[in-house]
Amino acid sequence: MSLFKLCRWWYTQCPDFSTNYDNNSIHCCRIGSDDSDKDYIIVGSHSGHLSIFNPSGDPPEQNSDNAFKATDVLIEMKLPNPIIGILSGKFIGSKEGGKCQLAILHPMKLSIYALHTTEGHALHGDQTRLELCYEYKFQRFAFSCCKGNFGGVKTKEFFCVVHMDSSLSFFEQDSIAYECILPGERNIPSTFVYVQRIDSFITVSTAYDVECFRYQDLAQSSDAGGKVIEPIWVAN
């Protein structure tokens, strides 16, 4: 028997009323560089609706079980393309003074946005807007995306996009770095997860084997006459 009880504290309705969401449609992150800054809730739908919330943390009003306030909604906008992934990180170096940016994955491109807030004289006077920093456009449909300090680079983060044909594209901050294809038959794309401690990626093959690939091996395989990609370990 648990001594704790789970109570609903904050909730709201997203602008897309249809079932256009999956497990990649929600992301929580801290955008600002201030230690007192709170986490933001970012929700994106397959129809292109993007919502950014910043719950105030105030308790619910009397006779209410919902702490939601209208000022908790920072941005509600409709993008022209479906949203299939949301990431956050330091994607444009030191230009934003330590702030994080948002990466929105669409089927044929990856868009990087910076979040800017202009303070007003009152709380309801604050204005928040998204500024498009740059985009990566694809030649093939995307399935998923991950990010990290690939290669042990601490000053900036990179992207790895998994395409529907299971090929991989690696992007630096302003251009594509290289592409590669994992060994074996991979008719169904799978999630790619980066593990920073070992600078490697974890994925699942079509034979349901869990595989681990070093970033260095993937990078070297993209060179002309590069080495054959082999996982450093496989578990089934």
Q: What is the pTM of this model?
A: 0.87
Q: What is the pLDDT of residue 97?
A: 61
Question: Which residues are paired to 118 by β-bridges?
Answer: 127
DSSP 39-52: PEEEEE-TTSEEEE
Half-sphere exposure of 125 (CA within 13 A, CB side): 4
pLDDT per residue as tens digits for the range 176-228 = 778 888 888 888 889 899 999 999 999 999 888 999 999 999 988 865 555 67
Q: What is the pLDDT of residue 124?
A: 59
CB 203 within 8 A of CB 183: no
Q: What is the pLDDT of residue 109?
A: 96
Q: What is the pLDDT of residue 129?
A: 87
Q: What is the pLDDT of residue 27?
A: 95
Q: What is the pLDDT of residue 141?
A: 96
User: Using CA atoms, how far apart are residues 137 and 135, in angstroms rounded to an integer?
Assistant: 6
Q: What is the pLDDT of residue 223?
A: 54
User: Using CA atoms, how far apart are residues 106 and 96, in angstroms rounded to an integer?
Assistant: 24
CB atoms within 10 A of CB 156: 15
At residue 168, φ and ψ (nearest 5 deg) are: -120, 140
Q: Show the low-confidence residues of the chain (pLDDT under 50).
A: none
